[in-house]
Structure 1
Amino acid sequence: YRDMGFSNPVAVIPNPVRIPEYLADIRRPGHEGFRAGFLGRLHPIKNLEALITAWGQLRLPNAELLLIGDGAPEYKARLEELVRAESISNISFTGFVSGRRKYEMLASLDVLCAPSHQENFGMSIAEALLAGTPVIASRGTPWEALNTRRCGWWCGNDSPSLAAALENAFSLSPQERLAMGERGRALVMETCAAPHAADCMKRLYRYLLGQEAKPEFVYE
């Protein structure tokens, strides 16, 4: 924004994430093996080819990768053909899900993968963290806090980088992944929950009216 020549103050307020009323009722199911997943639109910008290639290279034992979402039929067919070409048998295309079912599926994952080339926010990342699931996200997303808050991996989105992060997640104990998920949920509640975003908006307007000091999220 600054590189474009604008010098005015800028307020940076996170996208508000709604906290479902049923969230407390969703329990992380115990399951054998390791389950990774992707949630979102099946589209080239999501860089799913690199994720599929990374998954195929690892050949993790007793593991599965769920691709949750839908997209253009021709693109989905390309991804399915890549899975066949790589002779990968443990990848499933689940189709579109929403509401409570979406959070149940997120909670069933050991890690969510978001290998996008670019995301302005990445709602599925916040939703996965809210469900208590650690996240692997590319540096094309604004989620460096995954590293600083120790609730996931913020890394490159090439196949070797994704494979390394997946292997790291696989090597952790269930207890370690659970602790990461709890830290991730705390991160979202502190920074992205809808009440927090609403409070930031109120503080911004009070500042503009001269009723409050400049908030920490306003940058000169």
Structure 2
Amino acid sequence: MGKEVKEEELRELIDHQEKIREDERKRIAREIHDELGQHLLAFRIEVSLLKQEIFDSYDKRSERIDEILEHVDTTVKSVRTLINNLRPAVLDLGLVASLEWQARDFTRANGIECVFHTNDAAIELDDKPATVLFRVLQEALTNIVKHARADRVDIRLKRDGGNLVLQVSDNGVGMPKVRNRKIKSYGLAGIRERIGMLNGEFKIATGDTGTTLIFTIPANS
């Protein structure tokens, strides 16, 4: 029975991960069509209008060129957004700086106080594990917004022997039933899978007043 349950959970997780990938492909395609495609079309129209006689005067032509430049700037911003969604550029600043930025951005976007703490500002990781920690933090914060009803989040990154430990704590309503049932949240299942790929460990400490997610990975992942 135990083996059958694990195989069923694995199939559910694989199906869910494939759905996530397909949804992500659809989202990217939609953004390219709606954002980049529309901007490029507008850009083409603006350029073609320059050939019309109505813009032969210097002032009118200059005004039209300014409008074209505005479309170019908007298109550049759209491209940067698409790239950032695929791999956040802030990761180039290092792990600590990227997690600190994410905390500030979370506060700005959601009005929930979010504070980042670390006992070693010089912590560095290779690109893959750093990206994983960035993404699991992103997922954890998304879950807090959706479910926790919290007004404060604390993020802590620390060295612990040969490991790195990332803790995400909120003061929300908690998940008191998690200890007594299988976690059905695919968000948490996805987090567990990401951490597992780094030979790490994912734990949840929860009650009626807040939840802490604990991610532990080898420091040399």
Question: Could you say which TM-score interval applies, normalised by the shorter chain?
Answer: under 0.3
> Going by fraction, where is helix more abundant, 1 or 2?
2
Flag the structure with larger Rg: 2
Q: What TM-score does the superposition give when structure 1 sets the normalisation length?
A: 0.26
Higher relative contact order by CA 8 Å / sep ≥ 6: 1 or 2? 1
